[in-house]
Structure 1
Amino acid sequence: MVCSFRRYLWLRSNHQLISKNWQPKIFKMSASVISGELSLKQKCLEIFQTAINSVLPQNIIKNNISLEGNRLRIQNQSFPVHNNVHVAGFGKAVMGMAAAVEQILGDHLVQGVISVPLGTQKVLRLAGKKEMLLRPQTKIQVQEGAQHNLPDENALKAAKRIHHLAEGLTESDLLLVLISGGGSALLPAPTPPVTLEEKQYLTKQLASKGATIQELNTVRKSLSLLKGGGLARAAYPAQVVSLILSDIIGDNMEFIASGPTLPNLQSKEDSWKILSKYNLLSSMPENVKEVLSQPSTRTHQEETQDYAHVFNFIVGSNAIALEEAKCKSESLGYNTSILSTGVSGDVTTVARLFSLLIRYVCSVLSVHGSQCAQASSMKDEMLQIIGSLELPDFRLDSRLELLENVLSSGKPLCLLAGGETTVQLRGRGKGGRNQEMALRVALDLHQAKSMTPHDPFAKHEIVFLSGGTDGQDGPTEAAGGFAYTEMVENAFREGLNVEDFLNNNDSFTFFSKFNKGADLIMTGLTSTNVMDVQAIIIQPKETRVSDQC
């Protein structure tokens, strides 16, 4: 079964959340660190930290919104406000977003309802994150629900309150909608007579058969009162302004929390096709059949015209996080390039792409040119993988132009990427897509060394990082892990066979046992999510080695 690790368990509520200046408990202080020299892993971690900090809820709100007299400025737009702002929110990052919005709006805020994951407020209090909590005399109601990231009765109550708030608005009101990843589960409002249990059943069936998030959201929208633009329709004729933290590749807003403030571009016929694709027509509840059989009375053009009162803004995304990471990397002295913000596909294939890229870069830098036959072969394979994964923004040639700068300047190299992969489950181990990615990169680099008479990485220090910006990789306590060329060989010395752990999807157990857990990335829950970040640092060693290819 292909399982997207987006559908993970919400960790027990006493995990520490990330702060604006979090300090991961990973490395022991070495003499080089004390003297001010950071190791490659620590530099990589600083770059990852910067990416996360740029999309923390309080930061994205303050970077995008300001109050100028009686006008609320959001990016390049402004909206008149006069004690008429109502707030609705749903998602894993919404608690912090709402706290920042509340501080900015002041008396212009009339009321609000937000739906956040179970345990959110307790976790924030335990972590001392007062800036991410609402004021004691807040006008915003908080409803916690969606345990294990699944819609439940508490989330349904929150959705009903939000629906009621929206329906009571007038043309003189402004509804500020806060949306982040996890919003679909936190805003369940099934179209009658469909029950929450029936919708849950159908969602679980689709997920278990490997349906994509786009397919899941298409079906959810067709069975929802609020998704697929339903919330915006309920709020009409009030002004609706949505602030969206994207956890979707490509930032397609209609799929973020199932697009409650955007017109639904999918039809009920699309839902029928998806259910047929996964052989669920015969097991579909009768109430679902009834709703999907009801004819649509509106055209796409009519549907779109009804959204003139709506403005949607992306305020946080993987692209934004990577741009900030790039700035940090450059400040550390690296020639830096962003490879892609939309890396997706099976983690095994993606790990192969990254390991090939590392090998290619090392071979080119070692011989001061890319004419080596092995380098040419590696480039061809990379292009084939990029084509098979359909990564349109991964333009290899333009990305590799950076190597000329590396050769001429002598500066080391940092390559950044982001997105979200899937894992083919074969075993019963404990892990996540980022830890498995790192471990597979390490294994591939080890195999490349063992297949050549000369160490292809002898002239370079190499570190690979893959981490989830939400701080939780699968149902584990880690955000991700590191890889480097010596990892697999060192693991063998500790009696650990990397391939055995990978065959059992047991990457977290490996990293926990190996090197005393020093290669795990432990941030705690961050209360944000813009998918995953990968970073590759390639730095020349001081010792000269004869050119090899």
Structure 2
Amino acid sequence: MKPSQSKGLAEINGVDVDRLLKDMFDAAITTAQPALRVPHFLPQPPRGRTIVIGAGKASAAMAKAVEDHWTAPLEGLVVTRYGYAVACERIKIVEAAHPVPDARGLEAAERMMRLVSGLTADDLVICLISGGGSSLLPLPAEGLTLQDKQEMNQALLDSGATISEMNCVRRHLSRVKGGRLAAACYPARVVNLIISDVPADAAADIASGPTVPDTTTCADALAILRRYEICASSVAIALLEEGLSESVKPGDPRLAQIETHLIATPQLALEAAALKSRDAGIDVHILSDAIEGEARDVGSVMAAIAMQVTRRGQPFQAPCILLSGGETTVTIRGDGRGGRNVEFLLSLGVALNGEAGIYALAGDTDGVDGVEEIAGAILRPNTLQRARERGMRPTDSLQNNDAHGFFQALGDSVTTGPTLTNVNDFRAIYIAAQRGDLSRSL
């Protein structure tokens, strides 16, 4: 049976495409595991106390890696997403809500600020930061409530704002983000170990930068709210208009003892995936580790590039794999079940419209695309055909932001469970052959 006639996939030119794409996704996740990355960046023990703090989906696994390789005394507190806890003996692990914060995250942020107060210049703070930390450390600015933060987070998520824009707003409505946590540690030395999940690896955008300086301003945050027509409380607007919740800026003396290491990045993950492709004898091209924009727009652009390869042999010769990362956004228009990676993939599929010889996998490296415990999905040339045979209309699913519902109904979801890391989006497009060669490869 031809591959396009079944859900499964026979070998094409000796390659099991499904298996290869999934192996590449696994390689991207594995190379960013805290157990592999953290030990290389640990500092020497200080003369005083060692305090470990942190937030993010990978923070508990990072804390475990610190404990396993730290022979001196230490204590600490990190907060991670529900289901992402890893047992530690000396570091307290707290689970809280993501992507919309809850009371447990608020309590953890308050405890963390108390934990780092009163330190000395002989003390060391190891700060473990990864994606997801923005919602996991919700300490509202003076006059705001947790409910204000929850409503703002949801509005930002629904707006289509970029991650940089969202985190600019979050930094300026917080008592912990935008360098404030680092300032609270002063005069202790702070060593940041960061797993990047943002385009360009901007430290201020990873978990909204609680322990790094910030160059953006209250005026920038206010402009973002107005650009996306986001309704904010009168207190939040006043804080921004009057500049009363400004973040900590470069050159602040309280940040003089800050040392920052990016221990895992989207580029690192893509390079690990590329190596897996080369091992299989397939040419691979990393297009970018920092693609942003509407997920469905990125999908249609990637479809055009893939078809140029298969029809024209430009800019690459098939067979090949196109890799990309970054963080797209989704403007919510419908009421379906979706995430940015599956929305990208469904848009790609609609634009390809069954183009022979093109397969793709897209997923979030943290194992959660949107709010579903589903990492992503896989697309094949016969995906739209199989959906229509079931009475499904792909374009309707896309318009309703229901890509998870679409791929799950076909049995094409990719589920990893908690990966304990987060290096952002992963997109791989396999192009089997140029059009003139397809009859020989299918």
Fold agreement, TM-score > 0.5: yes
Query: Which residue number corresponds to residue 428 of structure 1?
Result: 335
Aligned residues: 434
Determine if the alignment matches structure 1 residue 485 to structure 2 residue 434: no
Query: Which residue number corresponds to residue 89 of structure 1?
Result: 54
Q: Shift of residue 437 of structure 1? A: 2.2
Task: Return closer, same or farther for 1:545/1:414 CA change in 2, 3 Å cut-off.
Answer: closer
Task: Return closer, same or farther for 1:61/1:28 CA change in 2, 3 Å cut-off.
Answer: farther
Of 387, 390, 393, which residue of structure 2 is paired with 1:497? 393
Query: Which residue number corresponds to residue 177 of structure 2?
Result: 227
Determine if the alignment matches structure 1 residue 335 to structure 2 residue 283: yes
Query: Which residue number corresponds to residue 65 of structure 1?
Result: 41
Query: Which residue number corresponds to residue 132 of structure 2?
Result: 182
Query: Which residue number corresponds to residue 243 of structure 1?
Result: 193
CA distance in 2, matches of 1:195, 1:507: 34
Query: Which residue number corresponds to residue 285 of structure 1?
Result: 234
Q: Which moved more, 1:175-184 or 1:266-275?
A: 266-275
Determine if the alignment matches structure 1 residue 117 to structure 2 residue 71: no
Query: Which residue number corresponds to residue 270 of structure 1?
Result: 220
| 1:104-503 map, 5 Å | 104-106=69-71, 108-121=72-85, 132-134=86-88, 138-145=89-96, 147-278=97-228, 284-286=233-235, 289=238, 293=242, 300=249, 302-303=251-252, 305-365=253-313, 400=315, 402-403=316-317, 412-446=319-353, 457=356, 461-503=357-399
Task: Return closer, same or farther for 1:333/1:187 CA change in 2, 3 Å cut-off.
Answer: same
Query: Counterpart amino acid of 2:164?
Result: Q
Task: Return closer, same or farther for 1:172/1:264 CA change in 2, 3 Å cut-off.
Answer: same
Name the SS for the 2:74 alignment partner: strand
Q: Shift of residue 28 of structure 1? A: 10
Q: Shift of residue 250 of structure 1? A: 1.1
Q: Shift of residue 45 of structure 1? A: 0.9
Name the SS for the 1:184 alignment partner: helix
Checking the alignment, whether the CA contact within 8 Å between 1:93 and 1:528 is kept in structure 2 is yes
CA distance in 1, matches of 2:109, 2:435: 60
Name the SS for the 1:345 alignment partner: coil
Determine if the alignment matches structure 1 residue 523 to structure 2 residue 408: no
Q: Shift of residue 51 of structure 1? A: 0.5
CA distance in 1, matches of 2:435, 2:147: 63
Q: Shift of residue 502 of structure 1? A: 2.4
Query: Which residue number corresponds to residue 532 of structure 1?
Result: 425
Query: Which residue number corresponds to residue 3 of structure 2?
Result: none
TM-score (norm 2): 0.87
Query: Which residue number corresponds to residue 56 of structure 1?
Result: 33
Q: Shift of residue 52 of structure 1? A: 0.9
After superposition, what is the alpha-carbon deviation per residue over 1:399-458, rounded to whole angstroms, capped at 9, x for unaligned?
Answer: x3x53xx6xxxxx312211122223433322222222322222222227x5xxxxxxx4x
CA distance in 1, matches of 2:381, 2:8: 22
TM-score (norm 1): 0.71
Task: Return closer, same or farther for 1:183/1:333 CA change in 2, 3 Å cut-off.
Answer: same
Q: Shift of residue 182 of structure 1? A: 1.3
CA distance in 1, matches of 2:150, 2:173: 11
Checking the alignment, whether the CA contact within 8 Å between 1:169 and 1:235 is kept in structure 2 is yes
Name the SS for the 1:163 alignment partner: helix
Checking the alignment, whether the CA contact within 8 Å between 1:83 and 1:109 is kept in structure 2 is no
After superposition, what is the alpha-carbon deviation per residue over 1:4-49, rounded to whole angstroms, capped at 9, x for unaligned?
Answer: xxxxxxxxxxxxxxxxxxxxxxx9999979xxx7511111111111
Task: Return closer, same or farther for 1:169/1:427 CA change in 2, 3 Å cut-off.
Answer: same
After superposition, what is the alpha-carbon deviation per residue over 1:448-499, rounded to whole angstroms, capped at 9, x for unaligned?
Answer: x5xxxxxxx4xxx332111111112223342212222232234334443323
CA distance in 1, matches of 2:197, 2:279: 27
Checking the alignment, whether the CA contact within 8 Å between 2:359 and 2:378 is kept in structure 1 is yes
Q: Shift of residue 321 of structure 1? A: 0.4
Identity across the alignment (%): 35
CA distance in 2, matches of 1:330, 1:239: 43
CA distance in 1, matches of 2:439, 2:377: 32
Checking the alignment, whether the CA contact within 8 Å between 1:191 and 1:291 is kept in structure 2 is no
| 1:69-80 map, 5 Å | 72=43, 79=44
CA distance in 1, matches of 2:133, 2:249: 24
Checking the alignment, whether the CA contact within 8 Å between 1:469 and 1:530 is kept in structure 2 is yes
Query: Counterpart amino acid of 2:333?
Result: R
Task: Return closer, same or farther for 1:445/1:60 CA change in 2, 3 Å cut-off.
Answer: same
Q: Shift of residue 240 of structure 1? A: 0.4
CA distance in 2, matches of 1:95, 1:295: 33
Query: Counterpart amino acid of 1:133?
Result: A
Query: Counterpart amino acid of 2:55?
Result: F
Task: Return closer, same or farther for 1:289/1:242 CA change in 2, 3 Å cut-off.
Answer: same
Checking the alignment, whether the CA contact within 8 Å between 1:432 and 1:473 is kept in structure 2 is yes
CA distance in 1, matches of 2:248, 2:434: 63
Name the SS for the 1:530 alignment partner: coil
